[in-house]
Amino acid sequence: MRPLLLFSALLALTVAGFGWSLTSGSIDIGWRELVAALFDPEAGLPARVILELRWPRAAAAFVTGALLALAGALMQVLLRNPLADPYVLGISGGAATGALLTLLFGFGGLWLHGAAFSGALLSMLIVFGLAHGRGSWTINRLLLTGVVIAAGWGAVIGFLLAISPEQNLRGMLFWLMGDLAYAGTPLTGLIVLLGGLLIALAMGRSLNILAHGELAAATLGVPVATLRRLIYVLASLLTAAAVTMAGSIGFVGLVVPHMLRLQGVRDHRLLLPAAALLGGSLLLIADTLARTLLAPRQLPVGILTALVGVPVFLVLLYRSRELHGREG
């Protein structure tokens, strides 16, 4: 697909996603009122609903989706495997555990982000450290490690919530499945997203080379060890920023890069910004669905992403088995 067409389509999707999200909800607000509200913040109740309730949540959904898609795409190059995803591999679980621990001990702010980042990085080092190697066992080993680590974090989260005396902590569902209902204004997330995207773009061509294997990348002048460490840190940061905002939302990082690759977007200099836009708008649309489908009941958006993500994951897993059958 031509880059210009691709990014026009993605921008249109983003604008449409925001428009739909801001006009949907318990109070009917039309497009005309939306435009009026955007240009005149004093324009009464609809404007207040949009600016104080819907806009922060829509923005948080977009930023979370973009963070997760970017993290997923980065992890996939590092492993040269389209099955990598921060949720499936337990990275989100590590971030959630770190964040929950600081909340239980009564810390917040920077401590929260730092702990989420440390949890994510720890999971990343465990999973990628154990999966690093050659041969067909790598995929199995990677997935097994990730699933077990994710289950382990799930148990820790369950334990922490069970012994926690606090009734006002965000619940089990938030940390295990993800929910945007508690997200505040996504300022930290946005800063991490923009910074991460810039760094990712600067290493875009190196990532293209890394997709051909670490040895081949080294022969072409890529400082592989440095790049690998940078991706560990960056993917952990992106995941941690998403998790502190919205809990462990799954499968965005898996589905979004896959959709783009199916459309022939393979150059990471295009794939990474495109993944951020597509991930953002898809999670925004998913969250709008989640809060309107069974209104007035609001579903956690993680349920929807899992319902879409699990079949996609299974198809990818089946295909990778086929591939290995042929190669082996």
| Site of interaction with other proteins (CB under 8 A) | 80-82, 201-203, 205-206, 208-209, 211-213, 215-216, 218-224, 261, 266-267, 269
- Beta carbon nearer to other proteins, 212 or 229: 212
Exposed (0-12), middle (13-18) or buried (19+): which is 326, by Cβ within 10 Å? exposed
For residue 167, the 8-state DSSP code is S
Q: Is 267 helix (H, G, I), strand (E, B) or coil?
A: coil
In the numeric block, which tokens belong to residue 141?
A: 């080993």
Please, are residues 86 and 71 in contact by the beta-carbon 8 Å criterion?
Answer: yes
- Beta carbon nearer to other proteins, 229 or 266: 266
Angle between helices 268-292 and 3-23 in degrees, nearest 10? 20
CB of 223 to other proteins, least distance (A): 5
CB of 210 to other proteins, least distance (A): 10
CA pair distance 119, 142, nearest whole angstrom: 18
- Beta carbon nearer to other proteins, 82 or 154: 82
CA pair distance 317, 164, nearest whole angstrom: 38
CB of 261 to other proteins, least distance (A): 7
- Beta carbon nearer to other proteins, 205 or 321: 205
CB of 232 to other proteins, least distance (A): 19
Residues belonging to the chain? 328
∠ CA 23-180-173, nearest 5°, is 140
Question: Which residues does 292 contact at the CB level (< 8 Å), separation at least 6?
Answer: 24, 25
CB of 82 to other proteins, least distance (A): 7
CB of 215 to other proteins, least distance (A): 6
Please, are residues 223 and 189 in contact by the beta-carbon 8 Å criterion?
Answer: no
- Beta carbon nearer to other proteins, 109 or 135: 135
CB of 259 to other proteins, least distance (A): 14
CA pair distance 180, 157, nearest whole angstrom: 18
- Beta carbon nearer to other proteins, 54 or 268: 268
CB of 216 to other proteins, least distance (A): 6
Q: Is 184 helix (H, G, I), strand (E, B) or coil?
A: coil
Half-sphere exposure (Cβ direction) of 281: Cα atoms closer than 13 Å: 18
- Beta carbon nearer to other proteins, 224 or 259: 224
How many CB atoms lie under 10 A from the CB of residue 269? 16
- Beta carbon nearer to other proteins, 255 or 284: 255
